[in-house]
Amino acid sequence: MKAMLLCAGLGTRLGALSDERPKPMLPVCDLPIIRFGIARLVGCGIRDIVINLHHRSDVIVDELGDGTRFGARIRYSVEDAILGTGGGLKHALPLLDPEDSDEPFVSMNGKLIFEVDLDAVIDAFRRAPEALGAMVVRRTPDAEAWGAVAIVHDPVGPRVVDILGAGTHMFCGVHVTRPPVVRRLPDGEACMIRQGYLPWIQQGARVAAVEQNHGYFAEHSTPARYLESNLALLAAPSLTCAPGRLSGVDPTAQIASTATLRPPLKIGAGARVGHRAVVGPAVVIGAGAEVHADAVVERSVVWAGAQARGELRRTIVTAAGPLPVE
C-alpha cells in the first residue's frame, strides 16, 4: 500500500514561523513534524510514500531526500499552484497509481502528530467495498469549530452522513480511498471534503467512519497549538512510533557546571547552555542552539541553531528571534 502526506499548504496562521519553514518542517521536540507521520506509516508497514510540495519545498526535500534513512521510499509531487486536499491527490495519482491498479492508499495531513491505528482504518475500508473512502474521526466538544462530522451506525459499521454541518466529531485529516474515487474530483484546485465526500454523501454514497477517540492527537496550525504540542510530548512522550527521542539531554550538548536544568526538557546535539542559565521546566533546545549565560527559559521552544537570551517564557525562539505566544 502507498500513502500520501499532504504538505503543500502555506501555513498562513503560523505567521512568521512559516516564513522560515513549511508547516510540516516545524520541529517538535527537535524533530520535524513530517518525521512523525513518516514514522507512523513505516511502523504500520507502509513504506511507499508520496509527498506534495509547494511552499519552501527545498526545505522538505533537503531533510528527507529519498527516504532511505527512514526505511521508506519517498517521491515528490510538486504543485506550481496549491491544488488543495483533493486536487493535490489527483495531481499525484501518476505516483500513487502508476499502473491503474485501483489499490487503496492512505492520505494523511502532514501537519499532524497522531497516534492513529492505520490498520483499523484500512480494515474498515475493506469491510465496506462499496464505500468511497474511510475517514478517521474523533469525538470533540467543539466539533463545529473543526467542521463537524455526523456519523451513524448501521449493520455494516459507522458511516459519515454529514460534514460541515451539525455533528459530534471532527475529521482528523486521515482517510483511505482509491484512485478511481479521486479521479471523480474536478481538475485543478479541489477540496476532498467540499468537492468530494460531502456532495457524494448527499447523493447517497457511503463513506465509512473510523472513530479514534483515544491516543495523542495534535495539529500545528497556530503558534499556540505548535508550542502546546511540544510541551505535551515532553511531559508524556508515549508515542508508539516516535521518530526519535522526545526528551533528555544529548551527550554532545555542552552544559555549564553552574547551569540549572529542570525536567521535562529536550536538549539537542551540540547545544550549549551557559553559566547560571536556568532551563526548564518544559523546554526544547534544538541541536546547535545556544542558551546564553544568566538566561531563564521556561515552557518554550528554541529552534536548532537559535540564540536564547534573557528571560523567555512561553516563547518560540527561531533564527529570526523570539516569538512570545499568548
Q: Where are the alpha helices (DSSP H) in the chain?
A: 17-20, 33-43, 57-64, 84-91, 93-96, 118-127, 179-183, 198-202, 223-235
Domains of the chain: 2-137+171-190+201-219 (3.90.550.10), 247-324 (2.160.10.10)
Compute the residue count for the chain: 326
Q: What is the DSSP code (8-state) at residue 193?
A: I
pLDDT at position 56: 84
Q: What is the pLDDT of residues 60-102, one digit of tens each?
A: 999 999 999 999 999 999 999 999 999 999 999 999 998 888 8
CA nearest 53: which of 15, 95, 1, 115? 95
**3-class DSSP state of 31:** strand
Beta bridge partners of 105: 2, 177
pLDDT at position 100: 83
pLDDT at position 81: 94
Task: Answer yes or no: are the C-beta atoms of 210 and 121 closer than 8 Å.
Answer: yes
Count of alpha carbons within 13 angstroms of residue 215, beta-carbon side: 16
Q: What is the pLDDT of residues 290-307, one digit of tens each?
A: 999 999 999 999 999 999
**What percentage of the chain has pLDDT greater than the value 90?**
89
Q: Is the pLDDT of residue 148 over 80?
A: yes
How much is the pTM? 0.95
